[in-house]
Amino acid sequence: MRIAVLRERRPGERRVALLPELLPRLLQAGVEVAVEPDVGAEVGVPDDAYAAAGAYVGDDAMEGADLVLSVQPINLATARALAEGTVTVSFLPPTQEMPLVRRLRERRLTAFSMDLIPRIARAQTMDALSSQSMVAGYRAAVVAAERLPRFFPLFMTAAGTVRPATVLVLGAGVAGLQAIATTRRLGADVSAYDVRKSSAEEVASLGARFVDLGLPPLEGEGGYAREMTEERSTRQRELLTPHIAASDVLITTAAVPGRTAPLLVTPEMIVGMRPGSVVVDLVADQGGNVAGSVPGQELSTGGVLIWGGQNVPSQLPVPASQLYAQNVLNLILLLVRDGRLHLDFDDEILAASCLTHDGEVRHRHTQDLIGEVG
């Protein structure tokens, strides 16, 4: 069995799906590895390092591969070039990739999506959404600290006392908690809000204050948030306004699985912030929590800087690749038995994360969408 690791095709993608240090584990499992030249260029890993670890390096790495590995979904041309039955493993959010899903089905490719790994204890080592969110949360904190024209910590010096920066984090999931932990480590005065009940305790455990708006929690399936009604949304914005106005830094990370990110912050709420304040909208590329944030851009409005996130984990490609590679390796080890591909759809992790197989869309929600749009 042969695995090919692709050089990422999408502009701006700096991560790589496999690192040389993980090759021994694959070779041990009886798998050959081929990588495209410059596959690790953006993370400072030369082709020689892959070759030294036992990989074949060549432009024809994909030829004859049984499994193709990447970070971003393969493109339509790659899907056309792969032989029927080839397995692909990558991020692949189905609702955003419908033309590719159709092509995968038509080409009878078997696609596993890292977006669909179930959040169960046994799959934690494969949970790439969490590992990449953790990277993004850290990055949000560092971006804010760098852009803010103030210190984060309290300083008491002979020349006087400088108050710490105040940080408010909206959405205390994996990314939000990491943003809280990092801004706390930098010494800021941090508070946070989330609609889930358990988040108050998680926020407090990191030494931050939970903002209690006195609204009922909004919890849906699997411990995720539910979508808000318009009424609740308006009330939440009203109640958050004074907290936002009092913050030097606002970091937003709120998301609801399968939906566009909820709008939590209106232009009027930004107007209330002090000039020099910084807003980091980590989910700008999923619709945005902040009105006017633009993915990949920094805009200034009334002296407030609004930084819009775009593929944020890729901005720290080294740890993001290390963690992603480990996540995909753990999934691949489930797909290989005695050096051969073995697709056991009785395994709930494989059953849940397989999007297409043998000319069919296996993921129920995507099946329904395809049925609707044809």
Ligand X SMILES: NC(=O)c1ccc[n+]([C@@H]2O[C@H](COP(=O)([O-])OP(=O)(O)OC[C@H]3O[C@@H](n4cnc5c(N)ncnc54)[C@H](O)[C@@H]3O)[C@@H](O)[C@H]2O)c1
Q: Minimum Å distance from CB 115 to ligand X?
A: 11
d(CA 251, CA 243): 12
107 a catalytic residue: no
- Closest CB to ligand X among residues 226, 337: 226
Q: How far is CA 98 from the centre of its chain?
A: 19
Q: How far apart are CA 56 and CA 71, in angstroms?
A: 19
Angle of CA points 362, 368, 374, to nearest 5°: 100
Asked if 363 is part of the footprint of ligand X (rule: CB under 6 A), the reply reads: no
Residue 240 token pair: 């958050």
Closest to ligand X by CB, 176 vs 309, is 176
Task: Give Cα separations from 7 to 29, 117, 245, 324 (angstroms).
Answer: 23, 23, 44, 15
The interface mask with ligand X, positions 95-134, x = CB under 6 A, is ------------------------x----x--x-xx--x-
Residue 338 dihedral angles phi and psi, to the nearest 5°? 50, 45
CB 74 within 8 A of CB 36: no
Residue 29 vs 213, nearer CB to ligand X: 213
For 304-360, what is the HEC assignment? EEEEECCCHHHHCHHHHHHHHHHHHHHHHHHHEECCEECCCCCCHHHHHHEEEECCE
Contact flags string 60-99 toward ligand X, x per CB under 6 A: ----------------------------------------
Min dist CB 77 to ligand X, Å, is 31
- Active site includes 353? no
Phi, psi of 140 (to 5 degrees): -60, -45
130 is catalytic: yes
Which amino acid would we find at residue 24?
P
For residue 84, the 8-state DSSP code is T
Per-position x/- string for 195-214, each x denoting binding to ligand X as judged by CB under 6 A, each - no binding: xx--x---------------
From 54-62, 150-158, 222-230, 360-368, span contacting ligand X (CB under 6 A): 222-230
The residue of the chain with the least Cβ separation from ligand X equals 173
Known catalytic membership, residue 150 = no
At closest approach, how far in Å is the CB of 15 from ligand X?
A: 19
| List 224, 232, 237, 315, catalytic entry | 224
Residue 315 bears catalytic tag: no
Catalytic residue, chosen from 72, 130, 132, 293, is 130
Residues 242-261 that bind ligand X (CB under 6 A): 253-257
Q: Do 237 and 266 contact (CB within 8 A), yes or no?
A: yes
**Tokens representing 354?**
């397989």
In a 13 Å sphere around the CA of 119, the CA atoms on its Cβ side amount to: 10
Contact positions with ligand X (CB under 6 A) in 128-187: 129-130, 133, 170-176
What is the 8-class DSSP label of residue 318? H
Cite the active site residues.
119, 124, 127, 130, 224
Binding site for ligand X (CB under 6 A): 119, 124, 127, 129-130, 133, 170-176, 193-196, 199, 223-225, 228, 253-257, 262, 264
